[in-house]
Structure 1
């Protein structure tokens, strides 16, 4: 499954990111619908593309087209579909995007000899056709995409040989006559000795075969072969060190002379491993999973990597609140959407050898607007169907003390859903750990911060009697979602993780005429990320001790500066919020570094916002209500304070620089270079030894030279 730029299969968690980028680029055309690509090339049985815009009333039409031999065009899009060998399905992505899937509804198996089954491919090139997929509103085409399908038949191994490879008797048999033949029953590119390659395929790369033994031949022969050197240009060592051996006998081809047939033994390879049952712990600690008396995990539906998982274990003292969206085409028939109270009253290990039973309380939701939304793109056949007692919310409260669970209560919200069209059901699942009536709040270290733990912040709250307590909160960044600031979610800042996130704010010409109000709106949006005034020094702060907290400093935006505002632009918009965190390693506990925050500063980068009236789209500047999307971003950067481990400088080193080679042009200690430690070209011991040897030779030359000879002659003359 591929398009012109590569594979079309995109992981679900990346579809939201792609939607944000596409929505940003299509901010001017939110009322229209467009395909992400205008032309696709498919080499597999599945194709996917993205339709962006107002997709609530869009219907899809697929037909086979033929390009004109004269012009090459396929004609205008049409809303009249045709019967093809493709099945079209669609899946909503966000609010204004639709993921469209095409699946080939036929077999890609190559037909055998004298086979009468019609569901197979007569030729290796099984599918070769051009498709036109149109998006229509009220039988009027709005967008279209051309799909060139070129799919080859799949070659399957012969039945009975799967998993078993029989090696023939190797008596004078070459085990590897074609080492580049890597794929079974498939032609390997540039492998000219591959017997699976047809004549047409060999013509594509016949002039670019793999050289050497890995291509099935030794060409040219290596230099050490006696037959490779001639008498004229042979090296000096050639007559004595050359090797006499046939080129075919080389270690890459694996020529065996004796051996027996190898029969492989069946084994559990390429099978799903059998996982051992979870081993319950004697007592609970933060982050450990909760167990039931049958040694199975206590599970609640949660989100894992952006996907809802029904059997996700619940971690001790880890709160969560998630929502899952399900497309209902019929009434649910099993958990978690349809459950009985008796199925939910399960027992949970309390962590001290006993167990507690979940207490279930039911609530009926008469207003299902927050949970149910219908879709007009898919309709179900038949009349209305009422689904009774459908679970729309499950809220768990787990009371704990020490390392154990004291009780568990579940509030289940149910409602009756009428299905006259396919609907999207949004269910809520939450779990909160309570110590008495206080919500459990996990620490981020003991005592120092640990990388990957949430940053702990707080605000001062007066309790009376001149006593203040710091109420715990968090510092957040924007979380990727549908891209818009007013609906974007937030996520906590994790210690040691530098990150940048943002959202999009629609701004119209009317907003740009009120720059002060626009600045206040952006400041308010940025202010929701950092509501705290203090940040905890360590990962386990005392909420009653002010010494465990550091006051957050906020940068000034210079409101007194003159604003250069115009009719279509606003200046000095605080569009980017930057959080700088300075931390220091204060020690280690059991070899784990303990980090402490020393300062946190919040600053803003100002930018000018102006509507883009150039190009072909001038609607934002002509229509006062037309909007353009502007980014509002935030980032966090962690800075490590270096530890100065050197000895303190003396007063002489601080006040006098005459002998400081780093701050003075004349360096007297280098006079004896390289005998001093200022010479770093080699170890000091070697430079000292070499220097002393030079001094010895200088002294010896002086003693044995002309001055000493004259002194000796004068001495001898005086003696005579």
Structure 2
């Protein structure tokens, strides 16, 4: 039976797949588009369908339709736009598919009594309508999608989900209240008739099924032993001699309904997010202390905290900051930090020397925004073509200091205009640099040895000088679309292995010029490491050549000989290997001191060919259609192990009879408690206990049967 079911599922799946493929093939051949499926029933606030075929130049329109009074059928598709309470979005899924999503732009909560908010449901059946999505080319409809929406309202309040955990308070400090079944904060609990969050419409749903007893908010019935309950008709034989006279307030649930005086609770430890204490006035700054404004507040700038960007974080004295925050924009920003005013940024800061300095703000216009903005791909008709003016793209602070104080603060604000065509990913940049007068202090990667996470220092020989100029040793840092034309570089960090790369767009025309293609890829790879030397230590001397190591460049030969043919090029140096050999030379104040002993840069050669398999010959026939090929770089740090033990003799290497690590039988372990490897107790105690055991063994041997027979034979002589 299972086999038959499996075969049936396989046949059904194959038929469905063949049907979709036929639709796609038919659409491509006839240059038409179709919706799959063409009819949907929506019981929730969002539905999704696919538009298959040649989707280039196709626009989508959404409107509400109904049955025609004359024909009794749905109105024919139309390309006229109509305002609805639904939001239509589309996302390209390749060359021949478009994912279409329709979402209700309204909440599904029931309107409360005297509710003036229009964003709610007047009745339980909130939405009952038919929608029509039309795919149009110009003003001519090509295909349509019908959506029958039947959505009911949800039984929760507008504040549901914000904080739905109720903490039962300690009744010594705070009474529980008169409704023990109210377990969820700001949400109507079912069958809890005393819940203050339940409106009259909600109570009608379970008015006849309330929780019984005091836990449901009802007065518990009096027990049979109460004298006031019994009557002469149904009184038991022991009544009235054994009945109890007790007021109804005296019941086991008295503590739950206690509304008397309470005492104030003392503050205790909390695992919630801490509240920043008020800044302490400073007379002078030290390294790492927060910078304070004139009104006694922390001077804050956007920073990266635990991998997340924060809008306001205290700036620390002599601590440089440089972060990039990616922000998804669906509408024009209105608040800090993307919308700022010079008057808001002109702040008076305590200088740490008894006075104040004013932040001097300078505005510059952003020229090239292509590296900061990338389209997300989703089309939003409500924000299409929206222009956001004077968006803050970067905030660059410069703090000038001397001694333990500030001498000046300047801010360069970069602004620009952004055009929103759907949603946009904006990369905003923020930095804070501390400069001693006009010069920024030289940054090292250790003192003297390298520290993990610091940049590897590279160097090149200056022109007509004997000194070495510091430069960076880089790998790829892809951004936005990941193309090599827009990719940036990031420094190699000591002790951190990494792999990165970018994509190079290569057309069939480029593959006919293999020598030029090899030269292009080689130049891209060599741009990462345009250096000759690498520093041994984290603080090298620019005039001492012994503090630097020569970089070894090696080109690997191709494993297979591939001749340059049409649509294929061989010996492409597409992968760069960077191997760094490091050595730990000692400890200074408990910190390991590491240095670089050797660095090698090599390349792996590969063959690039166009992917024309599966019958897709369009990429090979169109000489201008590019294909993406990866260019990668890998950094590997190799620790050189140093053996500090004395070399083993030939006897220790060859003789294994008494070696416990290379032999199953280990005779030295027979006296293991007496050796230095036994750590169960101090050596003196184990030795003393062992001597006691030896003494007892000798005593038992002397007093035992063999010695008794020897003594008897001796006396018989």
TM-score higher than 0.5 here? yes
The 1:111/1:671 distance shift into structure 2, 3 A limit, reads closer
Q: Is the 8 A contact 1:166 1:261 kept in 2?
A: no
* Residues 213-265 of structure 1: per-residue CA shift (max 9 Å, x gap): xxxxxxxxxxxxxxxxxxxxxxxxxxxxxxxxxxxxxxxxxx96663525599
1:153 paired residue number: 154
1:235 counterpart residue number: none
Deviations 1:13-72 (A, max 9, x none): xxxxxxxxxxxxxxxx9xx99999999998875789999999997754234699xxxxxx
Query: What does residue 507 of structure 2 align with?
Result: 508
Supply the distance in 2 between the matched residues of 1:396 and 1:182 (Cα, whole angstroms).
45
Cα distance in 2, alignment partners of residues 665 and 274 from structure 1: 63
Tell me, in whole angstroms, the C-alpha distance in 2 between the residues paired with 1:51 and 1:278.
59
Measured in 2, the distance between the counterparts of 1:394 and 1:103 equals 37
- Comparing 39-48 with 76-85, greater Cα deviation is found at 39-48
Tell me whether 1:356 sits opposite 2:357 in the alignment.
yes
SS of match in other structure, 1:467: coil
CA 1:542–1:84 in 2, change beyond 3 Å: closer, same or farther? same
- Aligned-pair CA distance for 1:600: 4.0
CA contact 1:432–1:440 (8 Å) conserved in 2? no
Per-residue CA deviations over 1:565-584 (Å, capped at 9, x if unaligned) read 54333344333334444445
| Secondary structure of the corresponding residue to residue 458 of structure 1 | strand
With 496-505 and 83-92 compared, the bigger mean Cα shift is at: 83-92
What residue number does 1:518 align with?
Answer: 517
Alignment-derived partner of residue 615 in structure 1: 614
Per the alignment, residue 110 of structure 2 pairs with 110
- What secondary structure, in the 3-state scheme, does the structure 2 residue paired with 1:485 have? coil
Q: Which residue of 2 aligns with 1:220?
A: none
CA distance 1:522–1:448, change in 2 (3 Å): same
Whole-Å Cα distance in 1 between the matches of residues 286 and 605 of structure 2? 46
Q: Match for residue 574 of structure 1?
A: 573
Shift of 1:348: 3.8
Q: Structure 2-normalised TM-score?
A: 0.59
Q: Which residue of 1 aligns with 2:408?
A: 407
Q: Deviations over 1:361-413 (max 9, x none)?
A: 66789x888899999978999x99998x9988766554444554433445667
Identify which range, 81-90 or 486-495, moves more after superposition. 81-90
- The reply on whether 1:475 has 2:487 as its aligned counterpart is no
1:278-326 deviation per Cα after TM superposition (whole angstroms, max 9, x unaligned): 4466555666654433344445667889998765655545264869899
Aligned-pair CA distance for 1:563: 4.0
In 2, Cα distance between the equivalents of 1:639 and 1:42?
A: 59
Q: Alpha-carbon deviation of 1:688?
A: 13
List gaps (5 residues or longer) in structure 1: 1-28, 67-73, 169-174, 189-194, 202-254
Give unmatched runs, 5+ long, in structure 2: 1-27, 67-73, 172-177, 192-197, 206-250
Report the Cα distance in structure 2 between the residues aligned to 1:573 and 1:377, rounded to whole angstroms.
39
- Residue equivalent to 2:484: 485
**CA–CA separation in structure 1 for the residues paired with 2:102 and 2:264:** 39
Aligned pairs for 1:334-345 (under 5 A) are 339=341
The answer to whether 1:661 aligns with 2:664 is no
Does structure 1 residue 61 correspond to structure 2 residue 57?
A: no
Indicate how the Cα distance of structure 1 residues 512 and 164 shifts in structure 2: closer, same or farther if over 3 A, else same.
Answer: closer
CA distance in 2, matches of 1:109, 1:484: 46
Say which of 318, 321, 346 aligns to 2:320.
318
| SS of aligned partner of 2:509 | helix
Shift in CA distance, 134/581, structure 1 to aligned 2, threshold 3 Å: farther
Aligned mates of 1:36, 1:476 — CA distance in 2: 45
Which protein is bigger by CA-based radius of gyration? 2
1:663–1:483 distance in 2 versus 1, CA, 3 Å: same
SS at structure 1 position matched to 2:522:
helix
Higher mean alpha-carbon deviation, 535-544 vs 391-400, is at: 391-400
Q: Partners in 2 of 1:374 and 1:157 — Cα distance?
A: 35
Question: Any idea what SS the aligned residue of 1:503 has?
Answer: strand
Q: 1:352 to 1:555 in 2, by over 3 A?
A: farther
TM-score normalized by the length of structure 1: 0.58
Partner of 1:85: 85
> Counterpart of 1:628?
627
CA contact (8 A) 2:583 2:594 kept: yes
SS of 1:512's equivalent in the other structure is helix
Aligned 8 A contact 2:512 2:566 in 1: yes
- CA separation of 1:673/1:473 partners in 2, compared to 1, >3 Å: closer, same or farther? same
Deviation of 1:457 (Å): 1.6
| Deviations, residues 120-178 of structure 1 (Å, cap 9, x unaligned) | 4466664577867667664566998989886651423999xx9898999xxxxxx9999
Counterpart of 2:458 in structure 1 is: 458
Report the Cα offset of residue 487 of structure 1.
Answer: 0.6
Correspondence list, 1:275-286, <5 A: 275-279=276-280
Counterpart Cα distance in 1 of 2:34 and 2:585: 56
Q: Which residue of 1 aligns with 2:646?
A: 648
Shift of 1:620: 1.6
Given that 1:88 and 1:100 are in contact with CA atoms closer than 8 Å, whether structure 2 keeps it comes out as yes
The answer as to 2:294 corresponding to 1:293 is yes
Aligned-residue offset at 1:458? 2.0
